[in-house]
Copies of this chain bind each other. A is one copy, B any other.
Amino acid sequence: MSANRLIYLPLGGAGEIGMNCYVYGYGPVDKERYIVVDIGVAFPDMDSSPGVDLIFPDIAWLKERRDRIDGIFITHGHEDHIGAIGHTYAMLGAPIYARAFTANLGRRKLDEYGVGPKAIRTMEAWPETVKAGPFTVGFAPISHSIPESSGLVIDTPTGRVVHTGDFKLDTDPLVGEAWDPELWADIAKPGVKALVCDSTNVFSLEAGRSESTLGGNITKMIQSADQMVVATTFASNVARLKTLADAGVAAGRSICLLGRAMRRMVEAGVETGILTDFPSTISPEDALSLPRGNVMLLVTGSQGERRAASAQLAQGKYRGLKLKDGDTFLFSSKTIPGNERGVIRIINQLSEMGVDVVDDNGGAYHVSGHANRPDLQIMHQVTKPQMVIPMHGEHRHLREHSKLAASGGLQSIVAVNGTMVDLSGNAPKVAEFIETGRAYLDGSVQIGALDGIVRDRIRMALNGHIIVNVIMEGNEPLGEPWVDLKGLPEIGDSKAPLVDVLEEDLNQFMMRASKKTLRDDDALEGELRKIARRTAQSEIGKKPEMTVVISRLN
């Protein structure tokens, strides 16, 4: 028995917010059996991943051990927890477990990859459990900003691990299950070895607020509007959709849903019986036929996404609907850091139309889905773990959460992606560092974040691209070099066309180049690059990316 160990290994989500993927292992060293908790995505940005469609955790380590994976457990249906299951299913091959609503969303994803619905096994809430190798796992309901979020109760021969998933302490979440301290005290009774815990809001010093605090404010806000009202939030925040729709109805309006993701979420909520009393909705066509003061649109795109309904409405028509002077647009959301520019762009476009934009306004119209600092302390106190392992956060969040745990007398550790932690002893201990990273879905192809492909794109964006062509007949240049530019100014400091100056300088070189250089492709390319770079630097003050094509005719 002493040879067996219990390990925790984050492959994504620890040291960043996004693409959550956590591994637990139990067994003899390097012969552990594994379960995986969540396989999510992160979203690309122009600064670091231009042109990329989605970002996955690099699961190469898991793929090499696929025969030792006994199950994949999805805590809830947010993209950063479930988004990559379609893409990774074939690589891992293990059964997926989730509760009904999450399973419903997951099956839609798998379907796109031609995987049948049985790949996901629907679980009931705790105390139901399932055995997966040496683990026994149950889904304990907890409140969050999407229905049926669950913490996982993971029993191992070494003791009980509680993996919180994303959570907040909401005793009245409107849709989905409430925070139930008795349930969690009960779960803690046999003793909790490790609490692996959401860290997102560790810097938020006040206790979190309930979803139920919003409805009244929102109804009042809508009642004060006399033209069209539009509200946006995360499509997956089903409770908020209901809060908004109910508020709209209370203010005497008909509700119209815009955006595919939003309609799909409501559909999944109804199919799984979670949304039994969502107000009936009207089509965009019907919305057009009603007086503006009687309509409320619920739309996607709270983060300024360029193709979502909110961005389209801000630019003009969407599904025949057009906003105008006197309309009201509510952001029932918080802007995720990094998305500010996109959101502000929309707000200004709406402002140009004369639309009044209402934002979070100090919490009147939005509450977070994550536990704040005092809530985390309550979670520590209720579950009384031997150790707290902070997850779901950037380094600063993990570190702060670890300090918070320590201040409560609990063992803790900052374990970022790739840190394999041995939980077997009385305190967490680093066992090993695993190489981890990000994989990009780029069009239809998976590429590595460090393959150099995206780096080359960024360089072309920053520096432009010069293409130099020379044709050689044997070892003699045939004609003069030919230059093409992309993303570069046509005229440089000498006021002559940049192409002409480059071609002239390159031709000068070709005419005086040694036979030895002309014979050797590498040497020739090197010289051509050097000259083109030097000329570009002096003409336009930049060092462009360079492609040199040497064609040799025989």
Contacts and interface: CB of A to CB of B under 8 A. Distances in A.
A395 B352 contact: yes
B471 A553 contact: yes
A527 interface: no
Contacts of A15: 348
A396 B347 contact: yes
Interface in A42-87: 45-47, 50-51
Interface stretch (A5-13, A217-225, A285-293, A486-494): A486-494
B341 A337 contact: yes
A3 interface: no
Interface stretch (A383-391, A429-437, A543-551): A543-551
A238 to B, nearest CB: 28
Interface residues of A, number: 59
A493 B545 CA distance: 27
Contacts of A464: 51, 453, 456-457
Interface in A320-368: 337-338, 340-341, 344, 347-348, 351-352, 357
A338 B337 contact: no
Contacts of A45: 341
Contacts of A344: 337, 394
Interface string A151-177: 000000000000000000000000000
Nearest to A15: B348
Given A341-B45, A469-B549, A540-B443, A462 B51 contact: yes
A454 interface: yes
Given A395-B348, A487-B453, A461 B547 contact: no
A45, A457, A471, A484 — most chain B CB neighbours (10 Å): A457
A374 to B, nearest CB: 17
Contacts of A340: 337-338, 340
A16 to B, nearest CB: 9
21 contacts: A45-B341, A46-B46, A50-B458, A344-B394, A348-B394, A351-B394, A357-B396, A442-B540, A442-B541, A442-B542, A444-B493, A444-B540, A445-B489, A445-B493, A445-B540, A453-B488, A456-B487, A467-B549, A478-B553, A482-B549, A482-B551
